[in-house]
């Protein structure tokens, strides 16, 4: 009986000890596991912070560059106005009046140009900054608007996607088409401007093309044209700000899309861009 009790006591002690060890192991492992998890979460956060910092630094650098280019391009017409004003004053003082009306005309043109530049800059900076509403947009409506705005040109629309309207911001998508068509009209060198617009659905993307019968663009300029303030002709000749295509590219990229151009000199120009969208039906 005595050995029985001792046996039971020993068993209890061993059992408790085992429990203790077991518990200790569990707590230890658990703690270790917790530590590991904490460390992982910490690393993950660190990575995200450094990613965000990198993005922010990049964004700041872009902003600085943009501010420099913008201020530089705004100063140019302003300097012109200053010069012209000085010359008008000098000439009037010296009694020579032949060039006055030319000087005044150049001044007025530069003032108008500066306004265009400022409006364009504002528009450009707005893309992506505000969360814009999306709505059901039927491309056919935009084509109709284009035909109304440019009655003197031919616009052909080839639809290879569903009749369903798509869900995008209507202003932004209009801006893309209007800028491309405006350029096509501005630089066209034929008797009649003819534009072909097509739309094709590709899973989550809609691919659009806008092709014209204009003078074409040499391949060596195909990247340059999308840079902001870059024009292929002097701004005095075309009054172009060089913002249009940069704006189009920015909008396309906001919708996770891409834009490219197919063109050679003398063979017209075709812009191809994709937009990721949610089909509305």
Partner 1 sequence: MPSLIRGRRVRPFRILLVEDDVVDQMTVERAFDRAKIINELFKAENGVEALEYMRGENSKEKIPWPYIILLDLNMPKMNGLEFLEEIRNDETLAKVPVIVLTSSIREEDICESYKQHVAGYISKPVELGDFIEKMATFGTYWAMCESCNER
Contact positions toward partner 1, by CB under 8 A?
A: 68, 72, 75-76, 79-80, 82-84, 87, 106, 110, 221, 230-236
CB closer to partner 1 out of 49 and 78: 78
Please report how close the Cβ of residue 228 comes to partner 1 at its closest, in angstroms.
13
Say if CB 246 and CB 127 are below 8 A apart.
no
User: β-strand 205-212 against 194-202: which pairing, if any?
Assistant: antiparallel
Q: Measured from the CB atom, is 6 or 85 closer to partner 1? A: 85
**Closest approach of partner 1 to the CB of residue 82, in Å:** 7
Minimum CB separation of residue 252 from partner 1 in Å reads 23
The four Cα atoms 153, 159, 163, 169 give a dihedral, to 10 degrees, of -60
Please report the sign of the dihedral spanned by the C-alpha atoms of residue 243, residue 246, residue 252, residue 256: negative
Q: Are 140 and 157 in contact (CB under 8 A)?
A: yes
| Residue 269 near residue 263 (C-beta atoms within 8 A) | yes
Residue 270 in 3-state DSSP?
strand
The H or E element that residue 148 is part of is helix 139-149
Least distance to partner 1 from the beta carbon of 80, Å? 4
State the SS3 of 218-230.
CHHHCCHHHCCCC
Tokens of 253: 């990229």
Nearer to partner 1 (CB atom), residue 175 or residue 263: 263
**Which residue, 15 or 68, has its beta carbon nearer to partner 1?**
68
The nearer residue to partner 1, 205 or 221, going by C-beta atoms, is 221
CB of 81 to partner 1, least distance (A): 8
């Amino acid at each position: 009986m005595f050995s029985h009790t001792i046996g039971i006591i020993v068993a209890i002690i061993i059992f408790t000890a085992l429990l203790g060890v077991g518990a200790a192991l569990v707590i230890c492992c658990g703690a270790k596991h917790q530590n590991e998890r904490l460390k992982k979460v910490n690393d993950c956060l660190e990575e995200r912070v450094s990613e965000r910092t990198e993005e922010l630094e990049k964004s700041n650098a872009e902003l600085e560059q943009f501010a420099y280019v913008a201020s530089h391009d705004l100063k140019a017409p302003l300097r012109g106005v200053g010069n012209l004003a000085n010359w008008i004053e000098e000439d009037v003082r010296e009694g020579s009046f032949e060039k006055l009306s030319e000087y005044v005309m150049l001044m007025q043109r530069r003032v108008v140009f500066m306004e265009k530049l400022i409006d364009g800059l504002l528009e450009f900076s707005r893309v992506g900054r505000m969360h814009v509403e999306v709505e059901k947009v039927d491309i056919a409506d935009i084509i109709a608007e284009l035909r109304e705005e440019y009655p003197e040109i031919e616009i052909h629309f080839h639809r290879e996607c569903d009749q369903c309207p798509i869900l995008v911001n209507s202003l932004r998508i209009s801006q893309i088409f209007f800028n491309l068509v405006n350029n096509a009209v501005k630089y066209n060198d034929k008797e009649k401007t003819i534009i072909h617009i097509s739309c094709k659905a590709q899973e989550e993307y809609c691919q659009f093309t806008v092709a014209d019968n204009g003078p074409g663009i040499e391949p060596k300029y195909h990247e340059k044209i999308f840079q902001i303030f870059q024009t292929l002709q002097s701004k005095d000749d075309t009054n172009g700000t060089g913002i249009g295509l940069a704006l189009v590219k920015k909008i396309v990229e906001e919708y996770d899309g891409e834009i490219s151009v197919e063109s050679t000199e003398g063979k017209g120009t075709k812009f191809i861009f994709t937009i990721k969208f949610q089909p509305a039906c």
